Structure 1
């Protein structure tokens, strides 16, 4: 028999830290830009009558000889209707040498952490080092994780949050978790105008951050836009910003970059770099304190693969999880 390790959410949570995730995602970005990752286009299915979507992200890390697939759902009525998170995910890892599934694990926390890690990496490469004021556009779980992750690497003093709903609850919960940071509910304009780092983490299909609000020196992490039609940023911002993508191909199709690209405001030549190129030292990050920078991140399967592989290896080392017998090798 060949064993497959099962890891539930609590087991994943016991094994994973945001700092470990940042390192795993960094390695994944660099592997992608070294050309040792195969990533087919993302497959998305819409469940309109349930206000939901399912994304299937897959990839092959030739560096690790691991194939991974993540099935991730975004069901925005879940918290009210089913007392479930709006984001649910499962990840499967396969041995690339033989196709055997070596691990099946809950991907909800991994998705949250790897997305927060992406924002942190974008800020480390592109934000001013003295950034201390954050504009958080969004009030969901990812809006919480983005701030949590950033606070490990930046001396954050103020977070101004804007959301269609849940602002007061966000402020109350985050203030209790991060007593050294001052949280306040404001308008989107007030939040952006007073920020060195702007984070968007919503499911919006319309611009929420406008060009005239963005001051010189601002860095923007565009996190929520990951499907055709979604939008969080005014396309005009891109015309005066240094644009960095996680993947040019995916961001032009699914990220906020799609809108200025389709409008003819920018071309391929205006996309400065992919984040892995900056991490590898092939392209520069922030060059001065007055630059406006944008990191547009749609999410790459290699982030999930690398983070899941870290969790799997740590689980094996610490004897965590349950083994099941999937294949009888005598068949």
Structure 2
């Protein structure tokens, strides 16, 4: 790996306002999204939208998420408008826990984009692959801006579907020399180990405490409802990206950890209500003012890490604008390559 990986995304493409006009509604399939949307473009899209959010030129609208009373499914909408990128739309979908028995991804979603000038439907974009890519890009952005430059060991807490995306995106941000992993279901770990082997990195399955003792950067990507990481296990200088907590009641790390860390987030409103910070806020261990939107760090209006001893924590709750940003880029890349279909209402 070269030093260029510390310069965030390998490339910085500009895709704004390049979709065709008067061709009807474009449809971008899951397969096409996987073909055209790479990690560099996802990183840039997510970093840009975090920047716009911090400038108040991009807005997430209130999230709707409900149990539908069938198939144990959760279903909802995330929507917003990015005035900088001129992207308007919503992601519709949710979580079907029984899908794994049907050889389907538990998370199912579609992104719907509209023309912000007219309100006309513009694109329908498959959202399953893009959800994993944008979540991985979010943690990668946090590593790029908050982790120590000399970070050598990456710890993965979680080895499910999204973990492989997280691993691939993370290793492009620092010169990692080893991957350590813990997962509640050990039988899932070999899949992540195979990705590490493909990347040429040593991989070790360890206990949670040992993971924290070794890791300079930790990514938690689980569906836990209890703290998996104890505050006293974390060594000075660690960066933690908490990417699994996106619902009231979920939790991945000790709430007391947030009291000793510098805490950053994608969106403050979600962080304190349904993100990892919800527990520290409820226990009055921290205040809302202690949490910094990562867009402020990207824009240079707030400081991130100030010393090698800082513990930094990114509360990645997942916001609709991330989905819209990557879907818009995917649609433009697919159109440029002639890989979209069109229809008229």
Normalised TM-score (structure 1):
0.93
Q: Does 1:305 align with 2:324?
A: yes
Alignment partner, residue 23 of structure 1: 44
Q: Does 1:13 align with 2:25?
A: no
Distance 1:48 1:252 in 2: 27
Deviates more, 1:19-28 or 1:81-90: 81-90
Q: Does 1:183 align with 2:203?
A: yes
Alignment partner, residue 138 of structure 1: 158
User: Which is richer in strand?
Assistant: 1
How much has 1:255 moved relative to structure 2?
0.3
Q: Does 1:124 align with 2:150?
A: no
Cα RMSD (Å) = 1.5
Of 273, 290, 312, which aligns to 2:309? 290
Query: Aligned pairs, how many?
Result: 323
Alignment partner, residue 293 of structure 2: 274
How much has 1:86 moved relative to structure 2?
2.0
Name the SS of the counterpart of 2:248 in structure 1: coil
Q: Deviations over 1:14-67 (max 9, x none)?
A: 111101110011110111111111211211112576343223110012223331
How much has 1:173 moved relative to structure 2?
2.6
Distance 2:218 2:119 in 1: 42
Structure 2 unaligned runs (5+)?
1-21
How much has 1:171 moved relative to structure 2?
4.2
Name the SS of the counterpart of 1:58 in structure 2: strand
Name the SS of the counterpart of 2:162 in structure 1: helix
Alignment partner, residue 319 of structure 1: 338
Structure 1 unaligned runs (5+)?
327-331
**Are the equivalent residues in 2 in contact too, given 1:38–1:60 (CA < 8 A)?**
yes
Cα gap change, 1:74 to 1:184, in 2 (>3 Å):
farther
Q: Does 1:74 align with 2:95?
A: yes
How much has 1:94 moved relative to structure 2?
0.4
Name the SS of the counterpart of 1:28 in structure 2: helix
Alignment partner, residue 218 of structure 2: 198
**Are the equivalent residues in 1 in contact too, given 2:130–2:326 (CA < 8 A)?**
yes
Alignment partner, residue 329 of structure 1: none
Name the SS of the counterpart of 2:344 in structure 1: strand
How much has 1:265 moved relative to structure 2?
0.7
**Are the equivalent residues in 2 in contact too, given 1:6–1:103 (CA < 8 A)?**
yes
**Are the equivalent residues in 2 in contact too, given 1:59–1:302 (CA < 8 A)?**
yes
**Are the equivalent residues in 2 in contact too, given 1:161–1:167 (CA < 8 A)?**
no
How much has 1:231 moved relative to structure 2?
0.5
Normalised TM-score (structure 2):
0.90
Deviates more, 1:166-175 or 1:256-265: 166-175
Q: Deviations over 1:178-229 (max 9, x none)?
A: 2x11112111111112110111101111111110110100100010000111
How much has 1:73 moved relative to structure 2?
1.9
Alignment partner, residue 114 of structure 1: 134
Distance 2:302 2:213 in 1: 29
Distance 2:73 2:152 in 1: 35
Distance 2:342 2:262 in 1: 47
Q: Does 1:41 align with 2:62?
A: yes
How much has 1:155 moved relative to structure 2?
1.3
Of 67, 71, 75, which aligns to 1:54? 75
Cα gap change, 1:268 to 1:21, in 2 (>3 Å):
same
**Are the equivalent residues in 1 in contact too, given 2:197–2:203 (CA < 8 A)?**
no
**Are the equivalent residues in 1 in contact too, given 2:160–2:188 (CA < 8 A)?**
no
Cα gap change, 1:193 to 1:49, in 2 (>3 Å):
farther
